[in-house]
């Protein structure tokens, strides 16, 4: 009787392992068809609206609770698999879970990585080094002006006046995105929540993340203030349906560049300037150093606070998460996690208009 059960579990394991491989192949093939991508974009709008209405009632991140539950399940499964008596059953359970998880991840989010890139909607001429340098000088001036309008803490470092007001401003800005770039529906609910994993996130280099299963945008509440508004705008771009990281950055730039909220505007201008300088670092390090010396005193204090935060939280987790995130991005039609070129190219092309 026991042998019959084991043989039955072997067949079930092979079957679900085969289904998982078939899913990989099926979604890869379907991602090549424009009609299917369009269908998934429409489905995203439907499920996003439904999930946001459902999970907006919870003051904490239900997506994080979901991930914690998965971690508990996986740890329990590993323990059961170590035990020879229950090994076959729990390998089968794990394969079944992997199939369900992968299927819903793909239809909720994964397929959106194959949307037409945003650079197709912008001027196609090659982006020159001189253009990036000119834009860096423009954003240096903008940062200096906007920096004088924001609040400071007792150490003279930028602080956010009202984070909830900044979140609300981001939702308003979604409605004013240029229609030739954005054809997606604005977010209906203010679903930006501090992550339950903020203590760990500070050591991983992860500023925020979007949960496709709950449509929530999570952020690290421990971040320096200079990071926060742009991070929120970035995650809200994911909520709109922009899956690629650098395209979410570009949409965050559009949300913040002309915002009435000075905290959002300054954080956006600072990020754009920093990204341009990073993209120029290998080509003209002397130019970058010269720009850094021209930062206003307030900007220099903000940069120092940013640097202190990074150095305080450097370590093994930062390396591991950075490496795995880099692999994930490259596996989803994107550049690596530390590449700024696509975002900067999008900004330069847009600024030409």
Based on the fold, state whether residues 51 and 173 are members of the same structural domain.
no
Based on the fold, state whether residues 109 and 168 are members of the same structural domain.
no
Residue 261 DSSP code: -
Domain boundary among 95, 114, 133: 114
List the pLDDT tens digit at each of the 353 positions of the chain: 556 666 777 788 889 999 999 999 999 999 999 999 999 999 999 998 899 889 988 989 999 999 999 999 999 999 999 887 888 889 889 999 999 999 999 999 999 999 999 999 999 899 999 999 999 999 999 999 999 999 999 999 999 999 999 999 999 999 999 999 999 988 888 889 999 998 888 888 788 999 999 999 999 999 999 999 999 999 999 999 999 999 999 999 999 999 999 999 999 999 999 999 999 988 999 999 999 999 999 999 999 999 999 888 876 444 443 433 444 344 444 454 444 589 999 999 999 98
Based on the fold, state whether residues 30 and 78 are members of the same structural domain.
yes
Q: In degrees rounded to 5, what are phi and psi of residue 158? A: -50, 135
Number of domains in the chain: 2
So what's the pLDDT on residue 198?
A: 84
List Cβ neighbours of 6 (8 Å cut-off, separation of 6 or more). Answer: 88
Tokens of 343: 């975002």
Contact (CB, 8 A) for 306 and 274? no
Based on the fold, state whether residues 66 and 133 are members of the same structural domain.
no
Based on the fold, state whether residues 65 and 43 are members of the same structural domain.
yes
Give the C-alpha separation, 221 to 216, whole Å. 15
Tokens of 291: 């720009």
Based on the fold, state whether residues 107 and 172 are members of the same structural domain.
no
Give the C-alpha separation, 157 to 151, whole Å. 8
Based on the fold, state whether residues 110 and 125 are members of the same structural domain.
no
Helix (H, G, I), strand (E, B) or coil at 151: strand
Based on the fold, state whether residues 79 and 131 are members of the same structural domain.
no
Give the C-alpha separation, 147 to 262, whole Å. 8
Give the C-alpha separation, 10 to 89, whole Å. 9
Based on the fold, state whether residues 188 and 140 are members of the same structural domain.
yes
Based on the fold, state whether residues 130 and 61 are members of the same structural domain.
no
Domain residues for the domain of 162 are 119-351
Give the C-alpha separation, 339 to 278, whole Å. 9
So what's the pLDDT on residue 317?
A: 43
Based on the fold, state whether residues 143 and 275 are members of the same structural domain.
yes
Task: Sheet with 216-219: list strands edge to edge.
Answer: 192-194, 216-219, 208-211
Contact (CB, 8 A) for 304 and 296? no
Question: Nearest CA to 133 among 254, 288, 353?
Answer: 288
Domain boundary among 114, 144, 164: 114
Give the C-alpha separation, 285 to 308, whole Å. 22
Give the C-alpha separation, 337 to 323, whole Å. 8
Based on the fold, state whether residues 84 and 202 are members of the same structural domain.
no
Domain boundary among 114, 142, 163: 114
């Amino acid at each position: 009787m026991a042998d019959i059960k084991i043989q039955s579990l072997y067949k079930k394991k092979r079957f679900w392992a085969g289904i998982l491989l078939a899913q990989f192949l099926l979604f890869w093939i379907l991602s090549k068809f424009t009609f299917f991508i369009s269908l998934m974009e429409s489905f995203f709008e439907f499920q996003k609206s439904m999930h946001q209405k459902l999970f907006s009632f919870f003051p904490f991140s239900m997506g994080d609770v979901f991930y914690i539950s998965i971690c508990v399940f996986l740890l329990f499964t590993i323990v059961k698999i170590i035990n020879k008596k229950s090994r076959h059953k729990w390998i089968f359970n794990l394969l079944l879970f992997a199939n369900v998880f992968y299927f819903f991840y793909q239809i909720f989010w994964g397929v959106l990585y194959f949307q037409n890139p945003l650079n197709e909607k912008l001027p196609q001429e090659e982006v020159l080094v001189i253009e990036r340098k000119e834009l860096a000088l423009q954003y240096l001036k903008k940062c200096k002006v906007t920096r004088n309008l924001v609040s400071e803490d007792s150490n003279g470092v930028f602080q956010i006046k009202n984070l909830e007001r900044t979140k609300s401003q981001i939702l308003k800005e979604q409605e004013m995105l240029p229609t030739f770039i954005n054809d997606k529906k604005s977010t209906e609910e203010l679903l930006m929540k501090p992550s339950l994993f903020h203590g760990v996130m500070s050591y991983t280099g992860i500023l925020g993340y979007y949960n496709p299963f709950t449509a929530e945008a999570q952020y690290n509440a421990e971040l320096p203030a200079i990071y926060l508004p742009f991070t929120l705008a970035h995650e809200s771009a994911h909520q709109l349906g922009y899956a690629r990281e650098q395209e979410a950055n570009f949409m965050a730039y559009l949300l913040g560049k002309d915002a009435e909220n000075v905290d959002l505007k300054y954080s956006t201008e600072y990020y754009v300037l920093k990204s341009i300088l990073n993209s120029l670092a290998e080509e003209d390090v002397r130019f970058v150093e010269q720009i850094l010396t021209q930062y206003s005193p307030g900007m220099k204090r903000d940069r120092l606070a940013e640097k202190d935060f990074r150095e305080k939280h450097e370590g093994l987790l930062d390396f591991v998460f950075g490496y795995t995130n880099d692999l994930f991005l490259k596996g989803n039609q994107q550049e690596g996690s530390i590449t700024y070129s696509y975002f900067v190219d999008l900004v330069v092309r847009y600024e030409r208009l």
